[in-house]
């Protein structure tokens, strides 16, 4: 459900369309590779001297069947990603007295929004992980919300959103510096 409170500032919060297209190609490649291995396993199996792995012809066939089963299952996740990338209007919006963010769910594919009053926000924390993942935790009296940086169009847009949210929530001193 989209919240209709007028926004002062809005930021798109959805995956980049190129990521969705790349995922489609990965799923299609997994299906094709699995079908090929299941139908035509190498006569001598597969042997890797580097890692010490050896698979017989039958094991390669079962690996191909495993890929055939798993790859179509990943298509379901890709359909959700495509829906979010091309068809959704997910956003982070700052209003006069609240913050509108996508509703947190286990899989992160909800199109619903929640409105968090600014005075209910108890903490805002910018996370920069060693694995390259960045994000913003918003802790409020009703729970917490994580906004991943890779769901914004660019690092600059994420940093602008983080600065705006921190300033609106009264945590402006912790805001990230301008990206060069």
57 and 42 Cβ atoms separated by less than 8 Å: yes
| pLDDT of res. 179 | 44
| pLDDT of res. 116 | 92
Distance CA 99, CA 122 (A): 13
Instruction: Give pTM, 2 decimals.
Output: 0.68
Distance CA 46, CA 64 (A): 12
All residue ranges of the chain with pLDDT < 70 are 1, 45, 47-52, 84, 107-109, 130-132, 172-180
Distance CA 122, CA 60 (A): 54
Query: Which contacts qualify for 95-104: CB closer than 8 Å, 24 or more apart?
Result: 95/5, 95/6, 95/7, 95/8, 96/6, 96/8, 98/5, 99/138, 99/165, 99/168, 99/169, 100/3, 100/5, 100/7, 101/13, 101/138, 101/145, 101/147, 102/13, 104/143, 104/144, 104/145, 104/146
Token pair listed for 96:
């006069």
| pLDDT of res. 47 | 66
| pLDDT of res. 139 | 92
124-174 pLDDT, tens per residue? 988 887 666 789 999 999 899 988 888 888 889 999 999 999 988 887 665
Token pair listed for 79:
């359909």
The separation between the first and the last C-alpha atoms of the chain, rounded to the nearest angstrom, is 36
- Which domains can be identified in the chain, with CATH numbers? 9-15+90-174 (2.30.29.30), 17-87 (no CATH)
Distance CA 131, CA 11 (A): 25
85 and 111 Cβ atoms separated by less than 8 Å: no
Distance CA 51, CA 90 (A): 44
**What does DSSP assign to residue 104?**
P
């Amino acid at each position: 459900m989209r919240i209709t409170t007028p926004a002062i500032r809005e930021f798109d919060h959805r995956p980049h369309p190129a990521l969705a297209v790349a995922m489609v190609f990965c799923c299609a490649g997994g299906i094709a590779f699995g079908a090929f291995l299941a139908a035509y396993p190498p006569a001598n199996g597969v042997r890797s001297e580097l890692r010490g792995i050896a698979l017989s012809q039958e094991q390669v066939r079962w690996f191909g069947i495993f890929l055939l089963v798993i790859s179509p299952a990943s298509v379901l996740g890709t359909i959700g990603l495509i829906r979010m990338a091309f068809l959704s209007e997910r956003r982070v919006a700052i209003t006069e007295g609240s913050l509108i963010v996508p509703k947190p769910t286990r899989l992160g594919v909800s199109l619903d929004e929640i409105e968090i009053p600014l005075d209910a926000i108890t903490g805002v924390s910018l996370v920069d992980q060693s694995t390259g993942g960045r994000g913003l935790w918003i802790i409020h009296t009703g729970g917490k919300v994580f906004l991943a940086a890779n769901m914004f169009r660019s690092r600059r847009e994420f940093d602008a959103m983080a600065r705006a949210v921190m300033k609106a929530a009264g945590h402006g001193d912790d805001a990230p510096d301008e990206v060069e």
